[in-house]
């Protein structure tokens, strides 16, 4: 029992990094995705082209490759630039998930019936009022399930930063496995990931109940 408690405590120390990466990614990628989605649904063709290029490149390449490119590749293109490992990981995750959230928000906005725009115009609402009072509340409700799925995936994807030697849940568990030749640390890590995702599911379930009024 003492060994399991000691192992669990050491693995949980890596949970701090996992949670920081998760929180920072959501904090910045959600606004980024929303802004890019608004740009992608605009009538400015060069802007739409840039957003299409951004989402296509990011979604069409593996996240692991993007991590390597940001940490090892950017210093080659920009001599003198040297990102900290965690900073490079956060930047990569924000850009990656921002692209996915862009498509989610774009789909949500475009799923609203055009008749609602016309009805708002008849009522004398301008574009800002139409979006803030009618379109966006419905959009947020519709995109919550796919956003929740991405958040769950994000919890699991944080394990990828192990390739940069960052001490998080998976790396700490691997160290114990390599030292003691036992599989139990991986089981502990799996339970931690399951618990984190359970919390994420509960949070988004509450949000869905809150926005159910817009159905």
Predicted confidence (pLDDT) per residue in 95-149, tens digit: 999 999 999 999 988 888 877 777 777 777 877 777 777 778 888 888 999 999 9
- Residue 213's pLDDT band, with cuts at 50, 70 and 90, is low
User: From residue 145, how far is each of 4, 12, 164 by CA, in Å?
Assistant: 36, 28, 31
State the pTM of this model: 0.91
For residues 65, 68, 74, 75, the Cα torsion angle rounded to the nearest 10 degrees is -160
* pLDDT of res. 28: 97
Q: Which residue in this structure is represented by tokens 């980024």?
A: 32
* pLDDT of res. 150: 96
Q: Is the pLDDT of residue 47 over 70?
A: yes
Q: Is the pLDDT of residue 59 over 90?
A: yes
Under a CB-based contact definition with an 8 Å cutoff, are residues 97 and 150 in contact? yes
Kindly give, in sequence order, each residue whose CB lies less than 8 Å from that of residue 156, ignoring residues fewer than 6 positions away.
193, 197
Domains of the chain, CATH where assigned: 2-214 (1.10.3720.10)
């Amino acid at each position: 029992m003492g060994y399991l408690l000691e192992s669990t405590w050491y693995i949980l120390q890596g949970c701090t990094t996992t949670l920081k990466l998760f929180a920072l990614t959501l904090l910045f990628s959600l606004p980024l995705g929303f802004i890019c989605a608004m740009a992608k649904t605009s009538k400015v063709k060069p802007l739409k082209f840039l957003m299409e290029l951004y989402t296509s490149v990011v979604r069409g390449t593996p996240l692991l490759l993007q991590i390597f490119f940001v940490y090892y590749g950017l210093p080659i293109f920009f001599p003198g630039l040297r990102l900290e490992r965690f900073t490079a990981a956060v930047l990569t995750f924000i850009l990656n998930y921002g692209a996915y959230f862009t498509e989610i928000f774009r789909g949500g906005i475009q799923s609203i019936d055009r008749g609602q725009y016309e009805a708002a115009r008849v009522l004398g609402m301008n574009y800002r009022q139409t979006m803030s009072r009618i379109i966006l509340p419905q959009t947020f409700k519709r995109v919550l399930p796919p956003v929740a799925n991405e958040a769950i995936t994000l919890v699991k994807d944080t394990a990828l930063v192990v390739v940069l030697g960052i001490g998080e849940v998976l790396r700490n568990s691997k160290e114990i496995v390599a030292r003691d030749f036992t599989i139990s640390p991986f089981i502990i890590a799996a339970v931690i990931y399951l618990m984190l995702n359970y919390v994420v599911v509960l949070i988004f379930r509450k949000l869905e109940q809150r926005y159910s009024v817009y159905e």
